[in-house]
């Protein structure tokens, strides 16, 4: 899989790009936990290098070209094999209280009970998809990142095949008769991934995404999976719900040359500036402005 550019991003918003042809080497959660350096595929003549994601911090690949660390983060996951009681006991008191309050508030708005619908077979997913796609089209994930649930024919064919192999789980949350949030997860063996998620902004005050996430995790403790993978990158909701994590980093490994060194210098300067800005934006007076800039 190739990436087409080095992106300069503020939150979900890409503000500039440097064209580079990169071969992405994405480690799964199992790979990251295993702690082994993956084999790097051969580069084609037109490739500029690699983007290696979720590489455990302790690993340092041998590379004679330009090396640049793009970001560090904890790849969070839930240990489903430990059981639901152990997971809930490991949550902070504040997280448990917040989850309970949000679920109660949404249930009250939906006639007194949560309406969560589950999908896993090919026929069920065929019914799920158009509803979830309509929700996805309303989300900032799709508007700014193109990261909503796909709607193309290739995705639908692959989804049907994966469903036949028992490798998909999906959920919809309704408020009254209106779909409010969706979650789509694909499997890597015994690990289920947090792939696509979104909610209707009209229901944002009811926190439908958080409520649906808790409901989905509750289902999964009785399912076949050993872990739920929150995938790359961090977020408050991931930290709050996870039972463990592995420290990772994303690396750029580029061919030697002045152009690639210059590109890395620009990216490094921008990333450093964003770290400073992020610390400044943590001030209460600036937090609202920062959120508007990231999602503008």
Percent of the chain with pLDDT over 70: 88
Helices H / strands E in the chain, number of each:
10, 11
> What is the band of 281 on the pLDDT scale with cuts at 50, 70, 90?
low
Query: Could you say which DSSP state residue 81 is in?
Result: G
Average pLDDT over residues 112-134: 96
Band of residue 271 on the pLDDT scale cut at 50, 70, 90: confident
Encode pLDDT of 141-186 as tens digits. 666 555 679 989 999 999 999 999 999 999 999 999 999 999 999 9
Element (H, E) at 229: strand 227-229
Average pLDDT, integer, range 263-290: 72
Say whether pLDDT at 57 is over 90. yes
Per DSSP, the three-state class of 41 is coil
Strand 13-26 and strand 2-10: the pairing is antiparallel
Q: How far apart are CA 242 and CA 79, in angstroms?
A: 8
Q: In angstroms, rounded to a whole number, what is the distance separating the alpha carbons of residues 54 and 77?
A: 13
CA dihedral sign, ordered 152, 22, 24, 244: negative
Burial class of residue 126 in the structure, from the number of CB atoms within 10 Å of its CB (0-12 exposed, 13-18 middle, 19+ buried): middle
Q: What was the pLDDT predicted at 272?
A: 80
pLDDT in tens, 117-126: 999 999 999 9
Q: How far apart are CA 233 and CA 71, in angstroms?
A: 9
Q: What is the dihedral of CA 185, 187, 190, 191, to 10 degrees?
A: -50
What percentage of the chain exceeds 90 in pLDDT? 70
Alpha-carbon gap, residue 243 to 79, rounded angstroms:
6
Q: What is the pLDDT of residue 296?
A: 45
Residue 63 CA, chain-centre distance (Å), reads: 28
Structure tokens at 197: 């998620």
Give the pair of three-digit tokens for residue 123: 């026929």
User: 186 and 158 in contact (C-beta within 8 Å)?
Assistant: no
pLDDT classification of 294: cutoffs 50, 70, 90: very low
Question: Which pLDDT belongs to residue 279?
Answer: 74
In angstroms, the CA 193 to CA 224 distance is: 13
Computed over every residue of the chain, the mean pLDDT equals 89
For 84-96, how does the pLDDT look when each residue is reduced to its tens digit (9 = 90+)?
A: 999 999 999 999 9
11-47 per-position pLDDT tens digit: 656 677 788 899 999 999 999 999 988 889 999 999 9
């Amino acid at each position: 899989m190739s990436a087409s550019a080095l992106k300069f991003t503020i939150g979900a918003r890409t503000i500039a790009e440097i064209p580079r042809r990169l071969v992405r080497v994405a480690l799964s959660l199992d790979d990251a936990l295993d702690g082994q350096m993956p084999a790097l595929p051969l580069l084609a003549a037109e490739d500029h290098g690699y983007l290696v994601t979720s590489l455990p911090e302790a690993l340092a690949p041998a590379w004679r070209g330009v090396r640049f660390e793009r970001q560090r983060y904890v790849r969070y996951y839930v240990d489903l094999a430990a059981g639901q009681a152990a997971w809930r006991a490991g949550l902070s008191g504040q997280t448990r209280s917040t989850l309970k309050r949000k679920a109660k508030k949404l249930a009250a708005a939906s006639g007194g009970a949560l309406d969560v619908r589950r999908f896993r077979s090919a026929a069920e997913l065929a019914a799920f998809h158009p509803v979830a796609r309509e929700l996805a089209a309303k989300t900032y994930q799709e508007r700014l990142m193109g990261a909503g649930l796909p709607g193309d024919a290739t995705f639908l064919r692959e989804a049907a095949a994966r469903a036949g192999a028992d490798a998909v789980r999906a959920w919809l949350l309704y408020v009254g008769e209106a779909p409010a949030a969706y979650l789509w997860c694909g499997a890597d063996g015994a690990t289920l991934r947090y792939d696509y998620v979104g909610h209707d902004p009209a229901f944002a005050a009811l926190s439908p995404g958080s409520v649906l996430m808790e409901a989905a995790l509750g289902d999964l403790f009785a399912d076949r999976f050993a872990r739920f993978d929150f995938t790359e990158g961090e977020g408050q909701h991931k930290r709050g719900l996870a039972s463990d994590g592995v420290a990772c980093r994303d690396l750029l490994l580029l061919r030697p040359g002045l152009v690639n060194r210059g590109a890395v210098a620009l990216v490094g300067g921008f990333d450093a500036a964003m770290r400073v800005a992020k610390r400044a934006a943590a001030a209460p007076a600036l937090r609202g402005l920062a959120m508007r800039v990231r999602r503008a």
